[in-house]
Each structure stands twice: as C-alpha cells, then as structure tokens.
Structure 1
Amino acid sequence: MEKSKVYFTDLRTKPGFNMLDKLEKLVKAAGIENIDFKEKYVAIKIHFGEPGNLAYIRPNYAARIVKLIKQLGGKPFLTDANTLYTGRRHNALDHLDAAYENGFNPLTVGCQVIIADGLKGTEYREIEVNLKHTKAAKIGSAIADADIIISMNHFKGHEMTGFGGALKNLGMGSGSRGGKLFMHSSSKPKIKEKNCVGCRMCVRSCAHDAIFLNENRVAVIDYDKCVGCGQCIAVCQYNAAQVNWDEAASIASEKIAEYTYAVIKDKPHFHINFIMDVSPNCDCWSNNDMPIVPNIGIAASFDPVALDKACVDMVNSAPTIKGCAIHDHHDSDLHIEDKFTAIHGKTDWRVCLEHAQNIGIGNMEYELIKV
C-alpha cells in the first residue's frame, strides 16, 4: 500500500506571514483546492470547547478556512453534535450559547454555526455501513446531509481512546445522541469506593439518574439506567468514578472508527489537526490541564488515519513538559515512549487506527511533508 501524504507546518512566523497565512499555505499544499466546492454544502466539523476549557482551537483558524472555502465557491458552516452527558453542550440552545461564548459565531467565523443533531440530539440520518459492530450509523443530520466534510481537530489526550484527533472528532463527535449511546454502551464506569468522599458531584451531573449515594455516602451506579456517557468520570475530582477498563474500551474505539467511515462515506473529505495545547484530556471537560508537550504545529491530509498517526508520532517524539500530568504517574520521562498510555495507562490508541485502516478509511503508513 502506498504511503499517505501528511503535510506539516511548524509555528515559526515572521512579519507579513502569520499563523493564519501558514494555515492557508498548508492546506493548499495538501491539496484542498482539488476538491470541487462550487455550490456545495461544506460541514466543517469542529469541537467548540466546553466553556471553562481553554485548549480548544482558536476561532480565528476556523474563520480562515471558512474564507478559503467561500473563495472556492463552497457554502461552509461550522458544526458539532450535542453531547450525551449533562453540560453546556447537551442541547442545541445551550450548545450554541457555549459556541458563541468561546468565539464561534457568524460574525467572528464568517459562516453559520449549526448544531448537527438538532435541539435535543434526535435529528439524524441512518447511514448503512454493515461493519463489525455497526450496521447503520446514526449521524447528525446537518453532517449527514452535507456534500463535503472538513474536520478541524484539536489533537490531545483522551481518557477512553488514549488520544483524540480526526477520527475521534469525526466518529464520536458526529453521532446523534442515540449514536453516542451506541458507541459508549460497552464502556460503563465503575466506582472505586475507597476514593469516594460523597461530594455528590456525580449524582448532580448524571443526566440519566443512574447514580445515588448509599447509606455510607458512597456513590453507587445503577447499571440499568447507566448509558456509559462518562460524565461522572469527567466531574469526579477524587478518582472515584473510573472507566471500567476491559474489552469495552477497545470496542468503543472500533465503533468510533466505524462511525467515522459513515461520516465520510462517498464524500470528499479533508482533515486538519492542531497539535497545540496538547492537554491530557478531552475538550469536553470544563477545564484543561497544562500541555504535556510544547506546541508542535499544524498537520493536514486527505487521510485521517495517517494524519492521526503522524500526530501521535510527533507528540511521542517531543520533550515532555516538566510538571505535566505524565509526571503524576512517572517520576522520570527518560523511558516513556508513549505519552498517551503514560497518562491513560489502560488505553490502547492503536485499536481505533488499526480498525480504521482495516475498514478502508486510510493508511497508518505515511510520508510527512514539511511546508
């Protein structure tokens, strides 16, 4: 199999040539102009960031891509689907407020902002794929109905999949509420009783009334109600709510790959990863921890698998920032070859990439081209 091309630019600038100019030069070098945008609806899949988290992609970058797509004749819109857990992006109204608060609005980005799966996360199209886990994927309507898919992805760690990049943003991020439930359904959390202090944060944050405190003021999960959304893990400050690491995490990763397949099926698509503020956890959290490595740059490709793999390799080759989350688990980084498993020790990010490659999304073998 021929290696996929991944294009990369660092963060060095000079007067008259800023990072927005470098972004445009990068995507043009990677071939974005070869897509026929004329009069096509273009979904720019992005994560607007949970308010309080400051690691998300700056809206300025989105605005430059919007401007370029319009110049090429396309009709772009920024989009994301509602979350499964309770938060500021749980329904379209709050989600739009959160997006606007973080700078993603028609005035700043130059196009409309649309919540892909509607008011309550119930507007979707079923896209038949007939893969290992997924027969038909439930994809947010605005994304499913678009003619072209562009993903803009903040590359960072993730507590379930090891890292989050193009595949995670496209697969999990484009699923309707029912689609997200399907992807999470094999991966329900557990409570480590000795860590629980009875603060009730998990109880208050559960959208499905699946958690309560027992007579000893220890959290208990009602698995008949639990949907595996992971919100209790995100809000627990005492490491009491934890992912139940068994085969379920691998299944969820494979489902994410299959949903990505559905999103880009039979459509032109192009992907951009921002390897900046590489935080240890997802942008769905209402806070972001310090980066684990220095800012690296921006990468782009038609192949989301090669793109994510190249970014993993660049992060793993970068020096670790002293005092970051990696050092919560390791006294020294001298022998750490994989920074993502160093943070999330029972994850295996390779599962999603390998399954994505096996079902024909892309290729883990790549050629990195400096722009």
Structure 2
Amino acid sequence: MSASKVYFTDLRTSFNENLPQKLERLIKTAGIGQIDFTNKYVAIKIHFGEPGNLAYLRPNYAAVVVKVIKELGGKPFLTDCNTLYVGGRKNALDHLDTAYVNGFSPFSTGCHVIIADGLKGTDEELVPVEGGTYVKEAKIGRAIMDADVFITLSHFKGHESTGFGGALKNIGMGCGSRAGKMEMHSAGKPYVKQELCVGCGRCVKICAHDAPHIVDRKSSIDQNKCVGCGRCIGVCPTDAVRAAEDESNDILNCKIAEYSKAVVSGRPQFHISLVIDVSPYCDCHAENDVPIVPDVGMFASFDPVALDQACVDAVNQQPVMPGSHLAEMPQEHHDHFTDSSPATNWKSCLEHAEKIGVGTREYELIKI
C-alpha cells in the first residue's frame, strides 16, 4: 500500500485568518470536496466532553466542518454513542444535556445532535468485520451506519488504556453501542458491585435472558445466561452493574481497530484530528489534567491510520510540558505516550488496523 497523504497546519494565525478559517482551508486543501455530499446524510463523529472536562474540542471547530459539508450539499449531524461507564453520557437524554451544556447545539454548530445508539445504548446494527481476528460482528450505533458519509473530528490526546486517543479510538470505541463497548473492554460479562446494589430489580426487568437475580436484596448475574448486551448497566440507578474490563490493552486496541473497519468500510470517509490540549487521559474523565506537550496543530486525511501515526509522531517531537503528569514520569521509552501510561502499547492498534486493511502507517505529511 502506498503512503497516504496527511495534511497539516500549525496554530499560528494572522489578521487575515483565524483558527476556524484555517481549519476550513485545511480540510478543503486535504480534499474533502472530492466526496459527493449532495443530499447525503453525513455523520460527524465527535466527543461532546464529559461534564467537568474542559479539554474536549470547542463547538466552533464542529461548526466549521458542518458549514463546509452544507456548502457541498450534505445533510450533516453530530453524533456519538452512549458510554459504558458511570457519567453524564450513559443514556441519550443525559448525553444530549451534556452536549448542549458544552455548547454543541444546533444554534452554535449549525446542525442537530443525534445519539447514534438510542435512548439506552441498545439501538445497534450488527456489522460483519471482514478479516477480523477478535470480532466477527461489530455492534455499531444504528444512526452512524444509516449515514451515507462518515466524518470524524477528533481531539488527539493520551489514554490510560490505549496509549492515545485519536481517529481510530473515536471511530472504533466511540461508535460501539453499549454491548459493543463491553465486547471491546471485556472478555467476560457484567457483574454487580454488591455494596452499591439496592435490590431495586430493574436489571431483572430489563433482561431478556433471566440472568440477574435478587437474593437477600442484592442482585447477582448468572454468567451462563448473560449474553453481554449491557442493558442492565444502562438501567441501574446506582451504577452498581459494571463491565468486567478484563481484556488486555493490546487486545482492546485490536478490537478497536476491527470496530473501526466495520464503521468505515464501503462508504466515503474523511478524518480530522486536532492536536491541542493533549491531556494524559481520555476526555471521558470528569476532569482534564495539564497537557503533556505544547499544542501542535490540525491534521486531516482520508486515511485514519496514517492520520493517527502522523499525530503520534508530531507529539513525540514535542518537549515535555513542565508540571505535567508526563514530566513526573521516568522518560525511559523516548515515547511520550508510553512514558505517560507505561502499561499501554499504542502501536498495537495501528499495526492491527494496517494488517486488516483499514489504512497504512506510511504517510506523506503535507504542510499548508
């Protein structure tokens, strides 16, 4: 496979061009106009930010992408899927509240927000993964699969499980339904944290397989009956039902790559990553720490693998930010993401994604 083109611009501005205008020039120069958007539904996959976290991308950047797509004749919507964990985005109503509070309204961005996997994270489509080693059918939010064109707008940052979070993380993990997220994170089934359980029985009512049972006012889940759909996680009022999260980080990364293939295969795609506010951990945290490196710039490509590789390389060329989490860690690996989260192996995702045909790690960086 020949090298993919990745377009880059730094964050310098002038009286003649601000950052939103520079982002518009970047994505147009990178070729977004080559896609036929005419009367097409366009999913723009983004992270709306967990309440309390301020490192997520400003809605101003989303507004630029929406504007360009509308000019090209498309019908864009901003989208994400519900989370598996406790927080402000575990169902569609809370998720929409979070998106609006963080500024992602139709008035600020120019398009609507659709939570792709529905009210409780169960509205999914089973998508075959050709050549998949770990996943045969990915469970993807239905609205994302209903779209004609798929676009990502990613905040590139560190991650405590995958090493970094970029385009592939935004696609693979982000587009998974609740059951899909569970499949990526866990080799097992959900369990009940007994000290949090109040014995309300909601998990019993929602389960179609008679897996949860209440004994002495505490729920427990029969692992032989459970199919791992995750519905019990969504209805638990005390967040007592949890995913096992017992999968190794390398396999987690490989599953993310395979889920990414399910999402992007067979339709037009385009990817944008902003390497700013490079926090050490995911935007799913209800807080964000000091950036581990200075801001770098904005990147765009038709190839999400090449895009992620280019962003990693750019971050690793930056000095360590004084006073950050990374500055407190031993600099043993000459790799900022490995030094920041030593138990991770970010290369496993890109290597597997390249192996199964999502894209290539070879890229030509074109600066504008």
Aligned counterpart, 1:369: 366
CA distance in structure 2 between the aligned counterparts of 1:249 and 1:370, rounded to whole angstroms: 33
Judge conservation of contact 1:186–1:249 (CA < 8 Å) in 2: no
Aligned counterpart, 1:351: 348
Aligned counterpart, 1:277: 277
Following superposition of structure 1 onto structure 2, how do residues 280-291 of structure 1 map, counting pairs within 5 Å?
Answer: 280-291=280-291
The aligned amino acid for 1:5 is: K
CA RMSD of aligned residues (A): 2.8
Aligned counterpart, 2:206: none
CA distance in structure 2 between the aligned counterparts of 1:353 and 1:277, rounded to whole angstroms: 22
Q: Which runs of 5+ in 2 are unaligned?
A: 204-219, 234-243
Asked whether 1:63 is paired with 2:63, we answer: yes
Q: What displacement does 1:186 show?
A: 3.1
Judge conservation of contact 1:186–1:252 (CA < 8 Å) in 2: no
CA distance in structure 2 between the aligned counterparts of 1:87 and 1:223, rounded to whole angstroms: 26
Say if 1:84 and 1:243 are closer, same or farther in 2 by CA, change over 3 A: closer
Following superposition of structure 1 onto structure 2, how do residues 151-190 of structure 1 map, counting pairs within 5 Å?
Answer: 151-186=152-187
Judge conservation of contact 2:69–2:76 (CA < 8 Å) in 1: yes
Following superposition of structure 1 onto structure 2, how do residues 92-107 of structure 1 map, counting pairs within 5 Å?
Answer: 92-107=92-107
CA distance in structure 2 between the aligned counterparts of 1:355 and 1:61, rounded to whole angstroms: 30
CA distance in structure 2 between the aligned counterparts of 1:82 and 1:100, rounded to whole angstroms: 15
Say if 1:139 and 1:319 are closer, same or farther in 2 by CA, change over 3 A: same
The aligned amino acid for 1:359 is: I
Q: Which runs of 5+ in 1 are unaligned?
A: 190-199, 209-220, 232-241
Say if 1:297 and 1:144 are closer, same or farther in 2 by CA, change over 3 A: same
Aligned counterpart, 1:268: 268
Judge conservation of contact 2:37–2:73 (CA < 8 Å) in 1: yes
Asked whether 1:145 is paired with 2:110, we answer: no
Instruction: Give CA deviations for 1:162-204 in whole Å, capped at 9, x if unaligned.
Output: 0000000000000001111111113999xxxxxxxxxx9x959
CA distance in structure 2 between the aligned counterparts of 1:158 and 1:186, rounded to whole angstroms: 20
CA distance in structure 2 between the aligned counterparts of 1:336 and 1:321, rounded to whole angstroms: 17
Aligned counterpart, 1:301: 301
Judge conservation of contact 1:160–1:243 (CA < 8 Å) in 2: no
Q: What displacement does 1:346 show?
A: 1.2
TM-score normalized with structure 1 length: 0.84
Q: For 1:85, what is the secondary structure of its paired residue?
A: coil
Say if 1:157 and 1:52 are closer, same or farther in 2 by CA, change over 3 A: same
Count of aligned residue pairs for this structure pair: 334
Q: What displacement does 1:326 show?
A: 1.1
Aligned counterpart, 2:259: 259
Aligned counterpart, 1:238: none
Asked whether 1:340 is paired with 2:341, we answer: no
Aligned counterpart, 1:322: 322
Q: What displacement does 1:336 show?
A: 4.9
Percent of aligned pairs with the same amino acid: 59
Aligned counterpart, 1:28: 28
